[in-house]
Structure 1
Amino acid sequence: MFVSYAPAVILAGGKPVEVPTYEENEFRLSVDDLEKYVTNKTRALIINSPNNPTGSVLTKRDLEEIADFAVEHDLMIISDEVYEHFIYEDAKHYSIAALDGMFERTITVNGFSKTFAMTGWRLGFVAAPSWVIEKMVRFQMYNATCPVTFIQYAAAKALRDERSWKAVEEMRKEYDRRRKLVWKRLNEMGLPTVKPKGAFYIFPRIKDTGLTSKEFSELMLKEARVAVVPGNAFGKAGEGYVRISYATAYEKLEEAMDRMEKVLKDKKLT
């Protein structure tokens, strides 16, 4: 799960409960897993598709089953869809709020940071039932007032201008090219890796090296000069994996893969 979710829940007075996802299921969340963790105290479910850190994408059937689960247990859904425009191969993005009867129990979270590469401007948006928005406005009013106006104008322009969406598609194609490179090289160097279908992250398994996620990450930083994120930064289930972002130049990714492979060979870890 993304690193901000648990602290946000705690800040709101809740108790975060991590539901693991598994490589064998392409790291997609399943209702079978949810059933193991739900209790009569559970109030909401946070989902993220396309996913950070794994790059997994929930299918329509996945979402339909999750929707039925939410109705059965009377849960609100908080759906983080910030990577919705970065989808690859045969995958499709579906918003759970669009399913029959789900809008009234869904808070859809999105933003401009990823879609339009506006990361430093920190502008997002929410779609939710009016009673939820009303309460959010009260909090927002005294927490941050509003985003800077020039950023709001820029976001509006980005949404309306056809050139923006052409640039988004060009960016998606380039991410796809990088994704294929990194996935291929990681598997070739002995790090089994599920091929991600969304976002711009990849989550290779490093268990077989005998190192923990932290040890592997520190080794790559010190010996290969390549920064990866330990999988356990995203929860206990992430141990044994690391996250790699391919949101950088193709040539840099090639060099990073060469460096990582050399360290693994020199240390005889694969």
Structure 2
Amino acid sequence: MIRPGLLRALQNSSRTTLATKPSLRPLLLRSMSATANGRAKPNLPVADRMHTGRAMAQDVWSIYNAANLPADCINLGQGYMNFSPPQWIKDAADTALATTIANHYSHPKGRVRLREAIRDHYSPEFTNLGRPLDIESEILVTSGANEGQYSMFTAFLNPGDEVIMFEPFFDQYLPSVTFNAGVPVYVPLHPPKGDSDKPTSGEWTIDFDELRRSITPKTKMIIVNTPHNPVGKVFTRSELEKIAALYDCLVFDDKEHVRIATLPGMWDRTVTVGSAGKSFAATGWRIGWLIGPPALIGPTLAATTRIVFCTNSPLQEAAAAGLEQANKRNFFETQRKEYKSRRDVLLSAFNRLGLRYTVPEASLDGRGKDFKASWFIAQELGVSTIPVSEVSTEAYIRFAFCKDEETLKLAGERLAGLTKYLA
């Protein structure tokens, strides 16, 4: 546990001044501004939706970015990799860029090759269907997972419809809901009880009575993010079955292990969200996809066509190559082992410091504690993290271990500088 002495120490630091948590109030635009010749001109009034869901607030990502941090700061806050995609995927991108047709618009549904690769990769999991996924009506390629879920909200949310999110939650969910006139409803994941210094993320629990009370006639959707971001919890089959039993509307199943869409009666009301960015260390490519029944994919296709029309065409070819080759190259199993090793490098640093943390069962993040402490660690020790208080009432720090081991070891050496502040 980080003691109060850590926070007091910053006040005496020669390098920086303790920063209080920045205001998250919306930054309102002036209604009038002066031109160069002194004449006033009206500014367009900002839409009401921009004042909901913290859309115009200073977000944590802009606070904890390279411009505000020491030049040599190690970024363990944002969940992007500091290593390249596999060479065979980059080669596929080069090949696509050299092909005329791949440099032009794809079909709004996505390039056929990628939809076929998604079908072949996911169909074995959807044994409840008794057939392969249909690439024409059950798979939609999107401009990243974020755009996919945004288009889904656009297609199905009416003003006042409620969307249940397990708190803490991935920060993009909130504005995506409120921009589409939805109402977020928060159901907490409760942290582990007891004296264990190293609980697993699976020990974060849902109070199903709380969930039951949160479901109202206005409830339209529930977001099930498993493995959970930022906690790293993998929802068990039993937990997913209880969610399915309580809820009879639309569900987002983001990632795996047990897909709620494969449970009895859930296929027809579940959309599964996937992403090539995190899968292949290519977060800047913005290639995602949705899998679901035609009744849900069809309206979402209409929405995404009006929002972005189509997704980056040549990189769809590269993502297709990634899915086609991944199992042949044992890529995902190797990746799991590598991430476990990276996670353990970071946890070893925490152990040496005697810090309490949650051991993630999956995902790319570990957790520790508080906003001021996070700023202190970045400024004094040169390791950037993200305070989870941005998306939760609990004060935690997120450490992303999707970096190479050399970087994580250096971060561990720097974090050892906390020793003198822990008492």
Q: TM-score range by the shorter chain?
A: 0.7 to 0.9
Residue matched to 2:231: 54
Runs of 4+ in 1 over 6 A off after TM superposition: none
**Counterpart in 2 of 1:251?**
406
Can you list the C-alpha shifts for 1:179-222, whole angstroms capped at 9, x where unaligned?
Answer: 12222332441321121110111112x2xxxxxx2101100110
User: CA shift at 1:23, angstroms?
Assistant: 2.2
Amino acid at match of 2:225: N
Residue 386 of structure 2 is matched in structure 1 by: 229
Deviation at 1:251, TM superposition (A): 2.2
Cα distance, 1:96 vs. partner? 0.2
Give, in whole Å, the separation in 1 of the partners of 2:188 and 2:357: 17
Sort the Cα spacing of 1:192 and 1:33 in 2 relative to 1 into closer, same or farther, 3 A.
farther
Distance in 1, matches of 2:292 and 2:278, equals 21
3-state SS of paired residue (2:338): helix
Distance 1:162 1:75, change over 3 A: closer
Partner of 2:251: 77
Q: Distance in 1 between matches of 2:217 and 2:416?
A: 48
Instruction: Note the aligned Cα RMSD (angstroms).
Output: 1.8
Distance 1:165 1:21 in 2: 37
Name the counterpart of 1:134: 298
Q: 2:421 matched to which residue of 1?
A: 267
Corresponding position of 1:17 = 185
Pairing partner for 1:94 from 258, 273, 280: 258
| Residue number among 160, 171, 188 corresponding to 1:3 in the alignment | 171
Q: Do the aligned partners of residues 130 and 199 (structure 1) sit closer, same or farther apart at CA in structure 2, a change above 3 Å counting?
A: same
Q: In the TM superposition, what are the counterparts of 1:155-194 in structure 2 within 5 Å?
A: 155-162=319-326, 165-194=329-358
Query: Counterpart of 1:66?
Result: 243
- Please report how far the alpha carbon of residue 36 of structure 1 lies from its aligned counterpart in structure 2 after TM superposition: 4.0
Aligned twin of 2:48: none
Q: Higher Cα Rg: structure 1 or 2?
A: 2
1:164 Cα offset (Å): 6.5
Question: Which structure carries more relative contact order (alpha carbon 8 Å, separation 6+)?
Answer: 2
Counterpart pick for 2:271 among 80, 96, 107: 107
Post-superposition shift, 1:26? 2.4
Higher helix proportion: 1
Aligned-pair CA distance for 1:165: 4.8
Q: Which runs of 5+ in 1 are unaligned?
A: 85-92, 207-212
Residues in 2 aligned to 1:141 and 1:57: alpha-carbon distance in whole angstroms: 33
**If each structure's strand is expressed as a fraction of its own residues, which one has the higher value?**
2
Question: Offset of 1:149 from its aligned partner?
Answer: 1.6
Q: What is the CA deviation profile of residues 12-64 of structure 1, one whole-angstrom value per residue up to 9, with x for unaligned ones?
A: 11011221112216224452341243333222111100111111111111111
| Residue aligned with 1:154, SS | helix
Q: What residue number does 1:116 align with? A: 280
CA positional deviation for 1:163: 6.4
C-alpha separation between the residues in 1 aligned to 2:307 and 2:188? 33
Distance in 1 of aligned mates of 2:239 and 2:299: 30
Q: Go from structure 1 to structure 2 and tell me whether the alpha carbon gap of 1:250 and 1:33 turns closer, same or farther (over 3 Å shift).
A: farther
Partner of 1:252, secondary structure, is helix
- Partner residue of 1:43? 220
* Structure 1 contact 28–57 (Cα < 8 Å) conserved: no
Q: Which amino acid aligns with 1:42?
A: T
SS at match of 1:161: helix
Aligned residues: 246
Query: Counterpart of 1:147 in 2: which secondary structure?
Result: coil
- The residue identity in structure 1 corresponding to 2:421 is K
**Distance (whole Å) between structure 2 residues aligned to residue 249 and residue 155 of structure 1:** 22
Distance 1:80 1:162, change over 3 A: closer
For 1:33 and 1:187, locate their aligned partners in 2 and report how far apart those are by CA, in whole Å: 34
- Structure-2 residue corresponding to 1:34: 211
Q: Tell me if the contact between 1:116 and 1:168 (Cα under 8 Å) persists in the aligned partners.
A: no
Aligned to 1:217: 374
Unaligned runs of 5+ in 2: 1-168, 193-201
Q: Percent sequence identity over matched residues?
A: 32
CA distance in 2: counterparts of 1:135 and 1:31, whole angstroms: 31
Tell me the secondary structure at the aligned position of residue 219 of structure 2: coil
Question: In 2, Cα distance between the equivalents of 1:59 and 1:153?
Answer: 34
Alpha carbons of structure 1 residues 162 and 129: separation in structure 2 relative to 1, 3 Å? closer
The one-letter amino acid of 1:78's match is F
